[in-house]
Structures are given as C-alpha cells and as structure tokens.
Amino acid sequence: MGKFNLKETGFMSGILEGVKVLDFGRYIAGPFCGALLADYGAEVIRIERVSGSEDRYVTPVTEDGQGAMFLQLNRNKMGLTLNPTKDKGREIVRRLVKNSDIVIANLPEQTLKSMGLDYDDLKLINPGIILTSNTAFGTTGPYAERVGFDGVAQAMSGAMDMTGQPDQPTKAYAPYVDFCSASLAAFGTLLAYLEKQKTGKGQRVQTSLLQTALTTTNSLLIEQEILNVNRVASMNRAQTSGPSDTFKTKDGWILVQTVGGPLFERWVKLMGEENWLNDERFNDDLSRGENGELISARMSDWCAERTSQEAIQALESSRIPVGEVLKAKETLNEEHILKKGSFIKMKYPTMDKEYSVVGPAIELSENPGQIKTRSPELGEHNVEILSGLGYSQEDIEQFKIDRII
C-alpha cells in the first residue's frame, strides 16, 4: 500500500514538511490547531461527515451555504468525507492512521471511542501516533462528560463577571478561549512530536476550554484568593491602572491604555495636569485604578474636543498606547493592516467575491508560514487521498454508493 502524498497535489512545503495530520476537529479549537500546523507545511487532511460537518455551515457566506469560519480555519488542508462508524470507514481510518503522525479530534471521549479514535485504539495501529484532543472541561473531574463551547468557559472562569456592567455579565464577542486553546494544542502537539523524534513513541496531548480560560483569569483569581477584593465589572475601564478606558471623540471612539509610572507621567504632561504627579491619589497603578473614574473623566473631556485622528496623533507623539475603535468594515480597509499584508485574498468556487483570510500570526525569518490554498469543498480530495491509500477506482465508487464517503 502506498502512502498518501499531499505534495503531489500542489500543497506547500515548509518547516513541518512531511508531517502528516488527520484533522477530525470541529468548530474552532480543533480546526485552528490543524490550520496552524498546515500553515507551516504539515500535510493536513480535514475529515468530516459525508453530508458535511455542522461547522462547515456556520455563518454562511457562499451561494451554497459555506460558512465564514470554515473558510478561515481550513485553509491549506485537503478535504475527505468519511463515515468512520461503518466497518469500511473504520478500515479507511486505520490505513490513514498507520501512515500519519498526528490525529486532531476535539470531540467528547465517548465520541472518540465510537469512532475508533481513542488513544488506546490508535496506538495499536501506530505506536508513534500523537492524539491531540480538546474538550470543554477535560477528561477528569465531575464535569468530564459535559459538553461546552467557548462562552461556557468564559462564564466559569470569572471573565464574564468582570466584563460589561455589574448587573449584566458580558461574553467577549471574539471566541478567544477557542483560539487560545487551539494555539496551546498546537504547541503541545509540537512538543509531543519533538519527543517522538527521540523515542519513536507517540502520546496524547490534551487541552480544555476551561483550563485555557482559567489561565487567562489566573491573576484575578490569585488576587481574590489572597486579598478577597471582590472586584465588580467596570465596563472598559481598567481597575489596576489608568487612564485605561475607551473614550468618545468628536467622530468616534478610541481606546487608551497606560500602565506604569512613565506612561502616566507622559499622559499628565499631555493633559497639562503635572500637579497630579504629586497627588497621593495617583501614586501608583493601583491607586490610579481606584481613582479611575476621575482620570477617565479628565481624559473624556480632552477627547471630546478632538477627532479620533487628532487624539491619536497627540497621544502617539507622547508615546502613549492608543487605538481607534473600528467597525468590521473599517478594519477591512485600515491602512496599516493593508500595507502590512495581514490579509490573504482568496477565492472559493461557489462565491464570486474574494474573501480575506488573516495570514499566519507567527513570523519566522527563515521559514515563514504561508497560506496557499483555500478551504476544500466537501469531499474535494476523496479520490486523491483514497487512491494514495491503495484503493481502486472501483472501490471508491462503491464507497460512494454505500455512503462511506
């Protein structure tokens, strides 16, 4: 049986060239982990239901309902449809696993077992296989069998309670827990792969949404544990420094963020409030946070007399961190983002307009990541992949009839 070879289909090479990945991931945490590996040359096969996995159709933007999230998270991958619950589907999985290095599957434990993707089964096929999985709550503890999404982890970590207003906990619009979990999963996968180079043995890599979310709020939790401060939400105003808040200008909004004495000193000089440097209410970051309403009020008065660009130019001239609050349509046309080349323009067969995929966020001087291929259509590479596994055209046609692929 010959090994499948993605290079023959025009897929890119890179620092992870030759690393073969099976991506059974869904939604964000699994697929983005696979995308990160693919951006740096890993050969990644996205495997989904015969009719298409549900995450393919979230936030539809194409004529046939393909979703924006799918278009972002499955670039640089091949696409295979498969029903691994049928015997012939399981045999295909076994052949794939035998010739792969990594399996990604952010699925509940029972689902992994029903699909033959639990680690005990996988390592019998390939002792060197690495299984990377992300769950909502981890695989131990009272909630191990529960399901959940990004927002559930935000809620339980304390983040939502500190976002928005005291009487209205607010979830962040951007699913940062998912993306952070995916990044940690990719990091863990590479650690396991490095260890495999030494020992020849694979291992299981696990992340969970809740553990990731707790990581982001850990300092809040430590402060509560030691000092029992019982903080409450204060919208965008920071509570341990200032001025750190959003401010309305003549024509929009800006966010200003100062932390530490040197930045505060530059800010008070810009405001013409040098006497505040000797005011005990503003001695350090914590006291400035405690008196943040007063500081934000002064900054609000200053911003109200200026346009966003006038305020930004003045603040930048004093080297004070500032950014304009942009709408999505403005972000797409922001000068720095465009000139830096942050977006990669791509086309999809069932959509006339080009769409913008954000390029790799990690910049390597010698081995840069690249986005060369769009996300695959449903089952687009079935024939190439299965042929590479040694199946005949007749076999493949029968798989279609039997709804194996």
Q: How confident is the model at residue 13 (pLDDT cuts 50, 70, 90)?
A: low
Q: Are 159 and 219 in contact (CB under 8 A)?
A: no
Per 3-state DSSP, the chain is made up of helix, strand and coil in percentages (nearest 5) of 45, 15, 40
SS in 3 state form for 106-170? CCCHHHHHHCCCCHHHHHHHCCCCEEEEEECCCCCCCCCCCCCCHHHHHHHHCCHHHCEECCEEC
* Residue 357 β-bridge partners: 344
72, 358 in Cβ contact below 8 A?
yes
> What percentage of the chain exceeds 90 in pLDDT?
93
Which amino acid appears at position 323 of this protein? G
Q: How far is the C-alpha of 10 from the C-alpha of 205, rounded, in Å?
A: 30
Q: What is the mean pLDDT of residues 42-54?
A: 96
Distance CA 2, CA 388 (A): 6
Cα distance between residue 75 and residue 95, in whole Å: 24
Hey, which CATH number is domain 6-216+343-401, 3.30.70.1560, 3.20.20.80, 3.40.50.10540, 2.40.50.140? 3.40.50.10540
Pairing verdict, β 130-135 and 244-248:
unpaired
The DSSP secondary-structure symbol of 43 reads: E
| pLDDT higher than threshold 50 for residue 12 | no
Q: Structure pTM?
A: 0.92
pLDDT at 11 over 60: no
Mean of the pLDDT values across residues 29-35? 97
Q: What is the pLDDT of residues 56-110, one digit of tens each?
A: 999 999 999 999 999 999 999 999 999 998 999 999 999 999 999 999 998 888 8
Q: Average pLDDT, stretch 178-202?
A: 97
Q: How is 330-389 classified by DSSP, letter by letter?
A: HHTT-HHHHHHT-EEEE--TT-SS-EEEEPPSS--SSS-----SPPPPTTTTHHHHHHHT
- Interval 261-286 mean pLDDT: 96
Q: Is residue 5 predicted with pLDDT exceeding 90?
A: no
What is the rounded distance in angstroms from the CA atom of residue 262 to the CA atom of residue 265? Answer: 5
Q: Is the pLDDT of residue 10 over 90?
A: no
pLDDT class of 1 with cuts at 50, 70, 90: very low
Distance CA 43, CA 22 (A): 9
Strand segments, DSSP code E, in 163-315 are: 164-165, 168-169, 204-208, 244-248, 253-257
Average pLDDT over residues 306-320: 98
Q: Write the class of the CATH domain 244-248+253-324.
A: alpha beta
| Domains of the chain, residue spans | 6-216+343-401, 244-248+253-324
Q: In whole angstroms, what is the distance from residue 56 CA to residue 168 CA?
A: 32
Contacts of 144 (CB under 8 A, 6+ apart): 109, 135, 137, 138
What's the mean pLDDT when you consider all of the chain? 94
Looking at residue 9, its pLDDT comes to 44
The arithmetic mean of pLDDT across residues 31-57, rounded, is: 97
pLDDT in tens, 125-172: 999 999 999 999 999 999 999 999 999 999 999 999 999 999 999 999
What's the rounded mean pLDDT across residues 360-388?
95
- The answer for residues whose C-beta is within 8 angstroms of residue 307's C-beta and 6 or more apart is 249, 250, 251, 252
Q: Of the candidates 23, 14, 113, 28, which has an alpha carbon nearest to the alpha carbon of residue 376? A: 23
Confidence of residue 275 (pLDDT cuts 50, 70, 90): very high
Instruction: State in Å, rounded, how far the first CA of the chain is from the last one.
Output: 20
**How many residues are given for the chain?**
405
For the stretch 233-266, pLDDT in tens is 999 999 999 999 999 999 999 999 999 999 999 9
